[in-house]
Structure formats: structure tokens, C-alpha cells
Amino acid sequence: MRRIALVLLLAAAAWAEEASLADRVKAVLPRPDEERWLSIPWRRDLLSAREEAEKAGKPLFLWIMDGDPLGCT
């Protein structure tokens, strides 16, 4: 009986620890207001985007950064 209680106690502690890590990770992840710019359908590859623009008869809009704009601040 004591052994069962001990196992249950350890399982509960492990579960609490897991929830805590998940919450701490979530606090670092981007909030929805920090992701609004991703609603723009950015192409990542300039070569294929240029070909797409040529076929569609559309101009290009280039956002160029030192570091990838989609992988940076």
C-alpha cells in the first residue's frame, strides 16, 4: 500500500514538473500579435519567386536583411 502511494506521489510530481516545463517553454514562444507579419505569403526563394512573378505578370517586393527576415527578430 505504501509502495502504491509512493508511486502515485512520484507520478504526480513528474506530471507537475512536465506541465511546468511546457508552461515555461510557452512563455518564450511568439504571441499571436508577434506573428501577424507571417500572414503575408512570403516566398523564401528569390529564384523561384522571380519566375513566379514573370509568369503571373506581377512585380516583386523584396525584403532583404542581414540574417533571414523569417528566421530573425
Taking the C-alpha atoms of residue 49 and residue 34, their distance in angstroms, rounded to an integer, is 25
Q: Shortest distance, CB of residue 37 to other proteins, whole angstroms?
A: 9
Quick check: 39 binds other proteins (CB under 8 A)? yes
Quick check: 38 binds other proteins (CB under 8 A)? yes
Q: Counting beta carbons within 10 angstroms of the beta carbon of residue 53, is it exposed (0 to 12), middle (13 to 18) or buried (19 or more)?
A: middle
Taking the C-alpha atoms of residue 43 and residue 60, their distance in angstroms, rounded to an integer, is 10
Quick check: 44 binds other proteins (CB under 8 A)? yes
Give residues in contact with other proteins (CB under 8 A).
21-22, 24-25, 27-30, 34, 38-47, 49-54, 56-73
